[in-house]
């Protein structure tokens, strides 16, 4: 049995159930279970939600994989891939070993919202059973606060 992995909020804001994400792929759990954060509308760094290695890094999203092989996807906004990286500054690189709380991408959710896109940040436990995610946070969270537990 795997140990419980605390998954931290990558950004400050308000914790939201995955069903509240305005994208059916995330809302219906097709990518995996997790939670989301409606981010504060201010320039900020998106932090690594777990300790591990950055497996994938795009301007709008990244995946960190733990030493046990559990991957967590952080997606900065909905349809932000269409921005082609504009408004996102990479602070790390694919393959980097990071501690939970390490800054990975700098961005401004207010700019994403001003462009007509939802800046909500889904945080997904990849390849996890729907019931593997427990104790989701509710209400305000700071970057680095526990967002959910992955059993």
Partners of residue 13 on adjacent β-strands: 39, 141
In 18-96, where do the E strands start and end? 34-39, 44-47, 52-58, 61-65, 71-75, 88-90
- Taking phi first (over 0 means left), then psi (-120 to 50 degrees means alpha), and beta for anything else, what does residue 24 get? alpha
3-class secondary structure, 81:
helix
Q: Which of 49, 75, 112, 143 is catalytic?
A: 75
Measured CA to CA, the distance from residue 38 to residue 15 in angstroms comes to: 6
Q: Is 75 a catalytic residue?
A: yes
> Computed from CA positions of residues 9, 10, 15, 16, in that sequence, does the dihedral angle turn out positive or negative?
negative
The CA distance from 56 to 62, in Å, is 5
DSSP-derived 3-state class of residue 21: coil
Catalytic site positions: 75
């Amino acid at each position: 049995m795997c140990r419980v992995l605390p998954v931290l909020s990558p950004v400050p804001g308000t914790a939201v159930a995955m069903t509240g994400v305005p994208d059916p792929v995330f809302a219906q759990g097709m990518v995996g279970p997790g939670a989301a954060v409606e981010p504060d509308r201010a320039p900020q760094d998106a932090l690594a939600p777990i300790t591990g290695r950055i497996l994938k890094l795009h301007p709008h999203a990244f995946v960190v994989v733990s030493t046990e092989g559990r991957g967590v996807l952080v997606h900065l906004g909905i349809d932000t891939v269409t921005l082609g990286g504009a408004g996102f500054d990479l602070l790390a690189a694919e393959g980097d070993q990071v501690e939970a709380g390490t800054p990975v991408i700098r961005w401004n959710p207010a700019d994403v919202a001003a462009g007509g896109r939802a800046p909500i940040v889904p945080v997904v436990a990849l390849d996890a059973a729907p019931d593997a995610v427990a104790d989701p946070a509710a209400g305000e969270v700071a970057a680095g606060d526990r967002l959910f537990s992955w059993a």
